[in-house]
Amino acid sequence: MALTGRAALLAALGALPVGIWEPSWTGILAVNAPLALACACDAALAAPVRRLGLTRSGDTSVRLGESADVTLTVTNPSGRPLRAHLRDAWPPSSWEPGTEVTASRQHLTVPAGERRRLTTRLRPTRRGDRQADRVTIRSYGPLGLFSRQGSHKVPWTVRVLPPFTSRKHLPSKLARLRELDGRTSVLTRGEGTEFDSLREYVPGDDTRSIDWRATARRTTVAVRTWRPERDRHILLVLDTGRTSAGRVGDAPRLDASMDAALLLAALASRAGDRVDLLAYDRRVRALVQGSAAGDVLPSLVNAMAGLEPELVETDARGLTATARRTAPRRSLIVLLTSLAAAPIEEGLLPVLSGLTQRHTVLLASVADPHIARMAKARGNTDAVYEAAAAAQAEAERRRTAEQLQRRGVTVVDATPDNLAPALADAYLALKSAGRL
């Protein structure tokens, strides 16, 4: 229980004339006794906070950058009307910056024996689970002189999912996929192709593709054509170690890697391929296996929601060993990691053969556009030195990429906005060439 500002103001106004005309204890008592009586009556008429019933309903998940509505139902079982101020507390990252105070506080009136619903609109600024804190209610009497205050735990969790901004590229990539899927056949048989059809030989066709048995049964020369095989296995490997924490623009590298992985997963599942996910640094952070085609994206975004970069060096040997166990048969393994020279040369290259001997390996890395801009700057002496440092960094990335390519790895190095479509294009190129 507590006095309100209104009661304090009335007490001060009552004490003012006493202090001017009759400064005595009798005068103070004469002024404050009625006020104390009014406060006591007000406190007695205020609805009890502890007896209130509170429940939640509403959204349980939301994409980063979008809004979620959580409804709080307040039931007043007492015989006195509830006049209250309410604070619905959530973690600071549940709100847009600067809006927490206004968004979390509301005025509430609930007649005796009735209920009211309040909606709290969240707009989270980070991925992961946002759990509701306490609901604090301050109940006032009809005169507004006295208040009762109490807090209730009303559990609720809103999972903030990756935004998947690259989904805008999906229609164009699916159009290219339809061209490959039975419409564009090839004469070269690869490990990731299956027999499509026979057609008549035309000048320029590879004579190795001639089907002599079929030719013997017809009057024209027949050649075999092949198409990309379906039901291939793709393992997306997210490196959640130290290098994934580096910020490119206003987000960590891990976020851009997730976005690229989601676009590739959506595309590959539509192509009839099976997609699994492994997130690893020094231990498994997330593992998604065996999802049906229609459940791939929901499973992946749910697993990615709580992932955060870990400030530890990634154990490349453990990562490759876990990837081999997760993909025991021939697969396309997509490593979403850094192209920084030291982690690649000291960590990944010595153990890379364990993957490339059995699998097709594709490495995708987030490039920093700021470094490219620095490399072109020539405005003053400082800019020239910065340009030299940026050019050296770019040269190191190219050398690292070349080392990987010499070991049979396809490398995609692109800025955050371009990484997802570039990775999807690389997948389509491998599929078209029958290399999955």
The CA distance from 271 to 180, in Å, is: 10
Amino acid at 320: T
Q: Taking residues 52-63, what's their average pLDDT?
A: 94
- Confidence (pLDDT) at 229: 64
pLDDT score recorded for residue 7: 54
Average pLDDT rounded to a whole number, residues 80-96: 91
Domain positions in the chain are: 1-161, 182-228, 230-432
Query: How much is the mean pLDDT over the chain?
Result: 84
Average pLDDT over every residue of 384-405: 86
Confidence of residue 186 (pLDDT cuts 50, 70, 90): very low
Taking only the tens place, the pLDDT of each residue in 227-248 is 656 678 999 999 999 999 998 8
Give residue-wise pLDDT tens across range 120-148.
Answer: 999 999 999 999 999 999 888 776 676 78
Flag the least confident range among 89-93, 316-320, 380-384. Answer: 380-384
In this predicted model, what pLDDT tens digit does every residue of 141-162 receive, in sequence order? Answer: 776 676 788 899 999 999 999 9
DSSP code at position 166: G
Query: At residue 324, does pLDDT exceed 80?
Result: yes
pLDDT of 275 above 80: yes
Segment 258-278 shows an average pLDDT of 95
Q: Which residue has the higher pLDDT, 34 or 188?
A: 34
| pLDDT at 380 > cutoff 90 | no
pLDDT in tens, 168-179: 999 999 988 887
In CATH terms, 230-432 corresponds, of 3.30.70.1450, 3.30.565.10, 3.40.50.410, 3.40.50.300, to: 3.40.50.410
Confidence of residue 182 (pLDDT cuts 50, 70, 90): low
Residue 339, pLDDT > 80, answer: yes
Contact 267, 228 (CB under 8 A): no
Task: Give me the mean pLDDT over the 354-372 stretch.
Answer: 91
| Residue linked to tokens 């759990």 | 131
The yes-or-no verdict on residue 39 having pLDDT over 90 is no
Measured between alpha carbons, how far is 360 from 373 in angstroms, rounded to an integer? Answer: 33
In this predicted structure, the answer to whether residue 187 has a pLDDT above a threshold of 50 is no
CATH architecture of residue range(s) 1-161: Sandwich (2.60)
Residues 6+ apart with CB under 8 A from 72: 54, 55, 56, 86, 88, 117, 118, 119, 120, 135, 154
- Given a cut of 60, is residue 35 above it in pLDDT? no
More confident residue, 220 or 187: 220
Between 388 and 158, the higher pLDDT residue: 158
What is the per-residue pLDDT across 188-227, written as a single tens digit (0 to 9) for each? 444 445 556 677 777 777 777 777 777 777 778 888 776 6
- The mean pLDDT of 74-96, rounded to a whole number, is 91
